[in-house]
Amino acid sequence: MADFNKILDAGDVDGGIINVVVEIPTGSSHKIEWNRELAVFELDRIDPQIFAKPCNYGFIPQTLDEDGDELDALIITEQPLTTGIFLKAKVIGVMKFVDDGEVDDKIVVVPADDRNNDNAYNSLEDLPEQLIKQLHFHFSHYKDLKKAGTTVVESWGDVAEAKEVIKESIQRWKDM
């Protein structure tokens, strides 16, 4: 029988398989965010269609990034995923990111069991170069049409660096 008192956690960080909750599907210009206090997904805003998400976007449960929100995840799949689902995801890297002067890193993941791609993605180097360029461009420019706000993709890190970012975010959550 299911244990309904169990809460979704970050998963097996050391093993590289984590839990990720989808907020925004690939191709959506809806900025959907998890509202921790109300325990619901909330439409924060609608961005210009030119800045629709180039990949699925979500968060890792029971983590807290330096910006005060759950640690973000960029979920690479060939098709959009639905808001609200969770998946077991394989960590393949991290995008080191600063949003309005605050650290807002993005963990890059793929589904842990992706038979369509023969589970071939194990690092950022395995992804198409064009996809990395699109992600870099999107996150460098998605605030360009706003009156205020700056974003900077500082660097890309490997699996080990991504795991360290996750572990630090889990500790921040526990300290909260």
Name the binding residues for substrate.
31, 45, 57, 142
Closest CA to 44 of 57, 54, 31, 56: 31
The residue type found at 37 is: E
Q: What are the tokens at 102?
A: 């605050």
| Separation CA 152–CA 140 (nearest Å) | 6
Q: What are the tokens at 118?
A: 């023969």
CA distances, 88 to each of 50, 96, 112, 141 (Å):
30, 22, 6, 30
Binding residues, as ranges, are 31, 45, 57, 67, 72, 104, 142
Using DSSP's 3-state secondary structure scheme, residue 3 falls into coil
Binding residues for Mg(2+), as ranges, are 67, 72, 104
